[in-house]
Amino acid sequence: MTTSPPRDVRAPRFDSLYQEAYLNLWRTYDRLKAIEDELFSSFDLSAQQYNALRLLEASHPNTVPTLTLGARLISRAPDMTRMLDRLEERGLVHRERRPENRRVVEVGITSDGLKQLAELADAVQACHKRQLGHLPARDLKQLVELLQSVRNPHEEDGSLWRKPM
C-alpha cells in the first residue's frame, strides 16, 4: 500500500492579499525599527526625539510653534509636551511663550542640540545603510515610489509628505 505525502492542512496564513501586504509592512517596520532603536538608545534618545531635533535644526535659528512641530513629525507624538520636557531637561531644546499670544509655545534647538545631531550624523547614516544597504538604488527608488503611492490617499491635506496626484 502506498502512502501519499502528508497534506498541509493549516489554514491560509493571510485572509487576503491586502492583509498579507499590510502585515509585511508592519513586520518590515518592526525589523527596521529594532535597528534604529538600538542606535538611538545608545544616545539616550528616541526616534521621535531625534526627528523633532532634525526638524528644529532645519528651522534654526528660528523657533517653531509646538503644534506645527507636532504636525511635521514623521509619526504622531501622543505626548508632545513630555517629549519636549525631556529634551529641554537635557538642554537640547528651549521653549518660550510669545508675549503677543501666551497660548502659543515656541520651541527651538540649542547649541547642545545641534552638537548632539552632529555627533549622531555618521551613526544615523550607518544605521540606514545597515537597514537598507543590501538593496540596489533602483529598488530603493521603486520602494520609495510604492510607499508614497500607498500612503498618499491617507495623508492629510497640506502634509509635506503628500504628493500631488
**pTM > 0.75: yes or no:** yes
Measured in residues, the chain has a length of 165
> Both ends of the chain: CA-CA distance in Å?
64
Contacts of 12 (CB under 8 A, 6+ apart): none
Q: Collect the ranges in the chain with pLDDT lower than 70.
A: 1-11, 165
Contacts of 46 (CB under 8 A, 6+ apart): 40, 83
Q: What is the pLDDT of residue 133?
A: 97
Contacts of 25 (CB under 8 A, 6+ apart): 150
Query: Beta 101-109 vs 93-98: how paired, if at all?
Result: antiparallel
The model's pLDDT over 102-149, given as tens digits with 9 standing for 90+, comes to 888 999 999 999 999 999 999 999 999 999 999 999 999 999 999 999
Sole residue written with cell 538611538: 40
